[in-house]
A and B are shown apart, each in its own frame.
Chain A
Amino acid sequence: MAWILFGTFIALILLRVPISIAIGTATVLTFLTSDFSTALQIIPQQMLEGVNKASLTAVPFFIMAGNLMNATGVTERIFAFANALVGHLKAGLAQVNILSSMIFAGISGAAVADCAGLGAIEIKAMRENGYKPDFAAAITVASSVIGPLIPPSIGLVLYAFLAQQSIERMFLAGLIPGILVGLALMIYVRIRAQFQEFPTQRRATVREVAGTAKHGFLALVAPAIILGSIMFGFVTATEAGVLACIYCILIGIWYKELTFRAFFAALSDTAMMTAVIMIIIAFSIAMGWLLAIDQTPQKLADFTFALTDNKNVFLALLLVFIILVGCVVEGVPAKLILVPTLLPLIDAYGIDRVHFGIIIQLGLLIGIATPPMGIGLYIVSEVGRVRFEKVTMAVLPMLVPLFAVLILLTYVPQTVTFLPDLILGPQN
């Protein structure tokens, strides 16, 4: 059954079928070949179940916040500040690229807003300064992985729902891993600059740093407001998303940079992006119903247990598996199928669900930077006007620091659980 599902899905995707139709066809064909071929009414019924999820109402607003930041010029302000701060380092603009993503991550919940909006600014600046376009595009994709780790994060909202964890806890758990990915990439760039000549910029004066900080102040405090309001404020995750959007709109009005036209463009982009995600979710939930009623998770658990009862060996297998899936399946459907399927195993091996959530989040995220399905690669090759293959080659060495962090997070669970346990108290 799993073969029909994944086989059809991947084949159709590679044949230029729109992703929502591809997952729908895979689901329909799997139903038709199952014991439930006469119960096809389950598909529309479960599609409604899939979109009727209260916790997922946060999704459009975390997307919208990123789009609004790009529409209001907030993104440029973040970039200017990061540039004043670290632009003078070796391979300075590459470091700026990473730091900007870390700041941007505090407002946006999706990696694509980073690649498409911030990425355009970053790649343009790097090209003008003499960086090779493929390197510029590659570091942009690699650093966009930070976005959905540092809260807010659509992927973590989805995981929290699937694994019955609180969104707050998952958000806190993602913070340190997100920063670690940023640092790992910065170290990687620094090491590479040791062997390779990169363009340099002069150091910004203290006055310039202060100037850009003031220029971008309202933008720079936004992440603190958003995370803070979820953690300690009076709002739910969805409301925090709305708060972020309203805040971005108000900044736009304050700086007089938000036009009606830009607002409605951001609105439309958000609606369409949300619809894509939710239609994928809808079909995936229908698929999940079939996997559940077929007791696939239990069968998989029994099979895996027969293989090994060693937790560390299991984690290694899990990592390889997640990364392989991440290469060919987009994060949202991958999570929707994998999380419910793997949870019995995760529990059986005594792995913390929060810990697993971050492993699967980063593991699948790396897929945006790998062919054939790397959405991030497509976007940066578009906005950076670089050939897809060239970005793909340039991004390969940057996967090393990403994998290093992933392995660290996997085998040192405290890197994930320390912060949520500290602030929310240990679980159970």
Chain B
Amino acid sequence: MTPFEYSPESPLQRALNRLDRLNWQMGGAFLWLSNACLLAMLALTTATMILRPMGLAAYWIWPWTMVFFIWLSFFGFFALYARLKDVRVDFLAERMGAAGMLVTRIVSDAATLIVTGVLLMQVPKVIATSTGIYDGATMPTGVELPRLALSLPLFISTALVALTAILDIAKLAAGMPENVTDHHPEI
């Protein structure tokens, strides 16, 4: 069930559902950021193949392809979490019935908060040490992309993933079902 299929009853549920819908749409926005990065990679690599025989391939194309690849992965982290595109093994939980689903829901949220918590606590250190530039990723201004710009999407996604897990715990407390899709994830 997605937040758009759920009908809230109490004011608390209504408020949480509104947040959940917002989060769901945010996940969609990040999916599109990932898509845009993938399209950029496709376009840049195609351009390289066309321009190279003509001797026109610019040196910054490849570094930027790498930057988009990194961003694709990091923006995707939140998208795949919020939109339930990750791989989840549910046969054991289903076998254990409602209790199984409840316990695994809590375990999942807890695990998510451990990972994201540890990652977010490192943000100050990473900002302090990620000095320098990404070689060759020249921007129109002539300066090269700061290295820090590579990790920022990871931290933004991580923060949003953490919020998603917190939201799910709040939903659980308010007696609301977790988001599920019948999409069978692919890897």
Known: A14-B89, A275-B80. A25 touches B187 (CB 8 A): no
State how many angstroms separate the Cβ of A141 from the closest Cβ of chain B.
Answer: 13
B72 in the interface (beta carbon within 8 A): yes
The docked-state distance in angstroms from the alpha carbon of A237 to that of B84 is 31
The docked-state distance in angstroms from the alpha carbon of A246 to that of B75 is 24
Query: What chain B residues lie within 8 Å of A273 (beta carbons)?
Result: 186-187
B119 partner, pick from A44, A378, A379, beta carbons under 8 A: A44
A52 in the interface (beta carbon within 8 A): yes
A337 in the interface (beta carbon within 8 A): no
A57 in the interface (beta carbon within 8 A): yes
The docked-state distance in angstroms from the alpha carbon of A54 to that of B65 is 9
Known: A52-B66, A271-B35. A40 touches B85 (CB 8 A): no
A22 touching B154, Cβ below 8 Å: no
The docked-state distance in angstroms from the alpha carbon of A20 to that of B88 is 10
State how many angstroms separate the Cβ of A108 from the closest Cβ of chain B.
Answer: 12
Binary interface profile of A, 3-30, with partner B (CB < 8 Å = 1, else 0)? 0000000001111111111101100110
State how many angstroms separate the Cβ of B36 from the closest Cβ of chain A.
Answer: 9
Query: What chain B residues lie within 8 Å of A47 (beta carbons)?
Result: 154
B24 in the interface (beta carbon within 8 A): no
B42 in the interface (beta carbon within 8 A): yes
Report, as a range, how many residues of chain B touch the other chain: 35 or more
Query: What chain A residues lie within 8 Å of B31 (beta carbons)?
Result: 268, 271-272
The docked-state distance in angstroms from the alpha carbon of A109 to that of B168 is 35
A332 in the interface (beta carbon within 8 A): yes
State how many angstroms separate the Cβ of B96 from the closest Cβ of chain A.
Answer: 10
A113 in the interface (beta carbon within 8 A): yes
Q: Point out which of A25, A44, A56, A60 has the most chain B C-beta atoms below 10 A from its C-beta.
A: A44
Query: What chain B residues lie within 8 Å of A274 (beta carbons)?
Result: 34, 38, 72-73, 76
A179 in the interface (beta carbon within 8 A): no
CB interface residues, B 50-106, toward A, < 8 Å: 52-53, 65-66, 69-70, 72-77, 79-81, 83, 85-93, 101, 103-105
Query: What chain B residues lie within 8 Å of A276 (beta carbons)?
Result: 76, 80, 85-87, 185, 187
Binding site for B on A (CB under 8 A): 12-22, 24-25, 28-29, 31-32, 40-41, 43-45, 47-48, 51-52, 54, 56-57, 60-61, 64, 110, 112-113, 116, 234-235, 238-239, 242-243, 245-246, 264, 267-279, 282, 330, 332, 372-373, 375, 378-379, 382-383, 388
| Given A17-B108, A17-B112, A40-B121; 11 other pairs, CB 8 A cutoff | A17-B104, A20-B80, A21-B112, A28-B118, A41-B129, A44-B151, A267-B35, A276-B76, A278-B76, A375-B87, A378-B89
The 5 closest A-B pairs by CB, nearest first: A275-B76, A278-B73, A18-B86, A16-B104, A24-B115
